[in-house]
Structure 1
Amino acid sequence: MRSDELLNQQFRATKYSYGYDQREVDTFIDRAAATLKIYESGTVHSDIHTSDVGLEHPPITSQLVNNVRFTPTHLSEGYDQHDVDDFLDRLASAFRNLEDPEPRD
């Protein structure tokens, strides 16, 4: 997964069913994309989570992706929860691969 893919990620909108707050999701994706850009630059590898890399917020990690919770919406626009949850699973996997690129037995 690349940073530009994150920035172009789209989710179905909800209005009358439950969703996630769009602003929170978009902000989180922006942070994840900024962290991925650091990896893509090749200047920092698996120690990104402990390095000062000039990000406004702490870098995103697979653990943070697994633990993120967004405010649910109902009767107002949000992003489809299933779309976002599926995306977060893929994002967590991508970060795990960056954090520990060594293959396991």
Structure 2
Amino acid sequence: MLTADDVLRARFTATKFRDGYDQDEVDDLLDRVARTLRAREGGEPTTDPVTVAEIDAARFSVRRFTEGYDEVQVDALLTEVRATLVAPAVARPAAAPAPGSGAASGGAPGDVPGLLPSKPSSGWRRLFGR
């Protein structure tokens, strides 16, 4: 799953003597993708979100003998973007547990950091390990 930061950090090889996608067109779409993902990450609405249909229909002008972006690299990123948009939105991770609670402070065996602690078991279960 990509995050907005992943999209913003993406870099592509510049082409000059072979076909490449128009850099401005790619950058404009990826800026919208980053805004869309940032809104999803925060659970907030956004104006003009990018849809899966837009990713599927994305076509960029091809540049020859001027700098463009490597087509294969851009297409690979857009494939990842599409997979991220299709997947259900994932909310931001919950805040760290308060000191003195949960697995970090010796919670029940089997507790996993970031998840709710398991329900306390009865004395018989603790005694017999069931």
CA shift at 1:98, angstroms?
3.2
Q: CA RMSD in A?
A: 1.2
Mapping of residues 62-73 of structure 1, within 5 Å: 62-73=52-63
CA shift at 1:5, angstroms?
0.6
* Percentage of pairs with the same residue: 35
Amino acid at match of 1:15: K
Find the aligned partners of 1:67 and 1:93 in 2 and give their Cα distance. 15
Residue 51 of structure 2 is matched in structure 1 by 61
Deviation track 1:77-98 (CA, whole Å, cap 9, x = no partner) reads 0000011111111111110113
Residue 76 of structure 2 is matched in structure 1 by 86
Unaligned runs of 5+ in 2: 90-130
Find the aligned partners of 2:33 and 2:46 in 1 and give their Cα distance. 14
Report the count of equivalent residues. Answer: 88
Deviation track 1:16-46 (CA, whole Å, cap 9, x = no partner) reads 0000000110111000000111100023xxx
CA contact (8 A) 2:35 2:46 kept: no
SS at match of 1:75: coil
User: Which structure has greater helix proportion?
Assistant: 1
Deviation track 1:36-74 (CA, whole Å, cap 9, x = no partner) reads 11100023xxxxxxxxx342xx21011111111111111
Q: Segments of 4+ in structure 1 off by > 3 A?
A: none
Unaligned runs of 5+ in 1: 44-52, 100-105
TM-score (norm 1): 0.79
Amino acid at match of 1:73: R
Find the aligned partners of 2:74 and 2:37 in 1 and give their Cα distance. 18
